[in-house]
């Protein structure tokens, strides 16, 4: 099971793009995201992200997003 899109969106709310995976992880941690989500963001296989759609696309490519919301 992966992360819910809404959880990722909450974790990255207010992030000032562009940013590296480490920048995303740091922001998510400050936003109260789970350690699993923080690590998933930190380990994304891209050097930089220009917006939330790029993050979601990358998470999808590594099968880190869940199915439907509750």
Per-residue model confidence (pLDDT) at position 66: 84
Per-residue model confidence (pLDDT) at position 67: 60
Per-residue model confidence (pLDDT) at position 68: 47
C-alpha to C-alpha distance for 15 and 62, rounded to whole angstroms: 21
Per-residue model confidence (pLDDT) at position 70: 41
User: Is-contact 64 3, C-beta < 8 A?
Assistant: yes
pLDDT digits (tens, 9 = 90+) for 50-68: 999 999 999 999 999 986 4
Residues of the chain with pLDDT under 70: 1, 67-70
Read off the tokens for 3. Answer: 């992360």
The total of other beta-carbon atoms located within 10 Å of residue 61's CB is 12
Q: Domains of the chain: which residue ranges?
A: 5-61
pTM value surpassing 0.85: yes
Look at the chain and count its residues: 70
């Amino acid at each position: 099971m992966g992360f819910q899109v809404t959880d990722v969106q909450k974790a990255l709310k207010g992030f000032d793009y562009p940013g590296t995976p480490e920048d995303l992880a740091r922001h998510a941690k400050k936003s109260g995201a789970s350690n699993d989500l923080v690590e998933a963001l930190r380990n994304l296989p891209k050097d930089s992200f220009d917006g939330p759609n790029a993050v979601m696309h990358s998470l999808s490519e590594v099968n880190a997003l869940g199915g439907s919301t509750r």
